[in-house]
């Protein structure tokens, strides 16, 4: 049975741009499941599966509907245990959850700011108007003013990534999963079934000690700011 994946797109339906939808697509591909991507624009999200979620990704697997990329990964792991694992056990789940949270707090805020005008330019007229109104309300100023802070914030963003260099053993213990076949999505070419990818690409930290050190350092840095 084909699984539907509601995938966020702009004017070009063949160019999905949401990293959260990418995670769901990679999880489905790693499991080797048949999927059909449903191009979904911002204004269409509230109508997805009767309004099940305010955000995508959302999948429909038969009679089951699941929202949120991590919830989707957990569902796939439980429902299709005979297929390649996404986490290799509870330790992998915990590590993946930590990396997801770290990226949401450390990477996403700056990258989203830096990409605001590009994302706005990708939308059709109606969705561009929605995107501008929604994001300007969120940031409390116009998109151009937010974007103008990009260069000034770059040094601080780079410094926030130094967490990965805390443990001398971390670099030697990283596990990068192959994502070359998935790059077509990032380069503007549709790739409904990327292969050789796993949502554990979110978590290249192996071992709770390194994760704990990294988490503690992030917390300490937050207290200093």
Give the model confidence (pLDDT) of 156-186 as tens digits.
999 988 865 544 444 444 443 333 333 334 3
24-33, 79-88, 126-135, 172-181: the lowest-pLDDT one? 172-181
Strand partners, 3: 35
Contacts of 185 (CB under 8 A, 6+ apart): 16, 22, 25, 191, 194
Instruction: Please choose, from the candidates 40, 42, 34, the residue with its C-alpha nearest in 3D space to the C-alpha of residue 61.
Output: 34
At residue 120's C-alpha, the angle toward residues 116 and 123, to 5°, is: 150
How much is the CA Rg of the chain, to the nearest whole Å?
18
Number of helices (H) and strands (E), helices first, in the chain? 11, 4
Residue 196 pLDDT greater than 70, yes or no: no
Query: What is the rounded CA–CA span in Å between residue 206 and residue 174?
Result: 7
Strand partners, 60: 4, 65
Query: What is the rounded CA–CA span in Å between residue 29 and residue 40?
Result: 19
Residue 15 burial (CB < 10 Å; 0-12/13-18/19+)?
A: middle
Mean pLDDT of the chain: 80
User: Mean pLDDT throughout 33-60?
Assistant: 98
% of the chain surpassing 90 pLDDT: 70
């Amino acid at each position: 049975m084909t699984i539907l994946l509601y995938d966020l797109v702009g004017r070009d339906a063949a160019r999905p741009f949401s990293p959260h939808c990418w995670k769901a697509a990679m999880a489905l591909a790693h499991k080797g499941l048949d999927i059909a991507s449903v191009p979904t624009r911002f204004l269409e999200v509230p109508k997805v599966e009767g309004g099940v979620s305010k955000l995508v990704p959302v999948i429909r697997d038969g009679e089951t509907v699941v929202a949120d990329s991590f919830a989707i990964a957990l569902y796939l792991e439980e429902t299709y245990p005979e297929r390649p694992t996404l986490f290799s056990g509870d330790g992998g789940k915990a590590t993946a959850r930590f990396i997801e949270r770290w990226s949401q707090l450390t990477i996403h805020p700056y990258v989203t700011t830096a990409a605001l005008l590009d994302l706005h330019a990708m939308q059709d007229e109606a969705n561009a108007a929605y995107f501008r109104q929604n994001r300007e309300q969120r940031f409390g100023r116009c998109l151009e003013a937010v974007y103008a802070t990009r260069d000034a914030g770059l040094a601080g963003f780079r410094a926030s990534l130094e967490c990965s260099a805390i443990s001398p053993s971390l670099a030697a213990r990283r596990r990068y999963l192959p994502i070359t076949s998935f790059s077509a999505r990032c380069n503007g070419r549709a790739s409904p079934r990327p292969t050789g990818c796993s949502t554990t690409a979110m978590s290249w930290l192996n071992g709770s000690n390194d994760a704990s050190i990294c988490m503690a350092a992030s917390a300490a840095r937050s207290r200093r700011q």
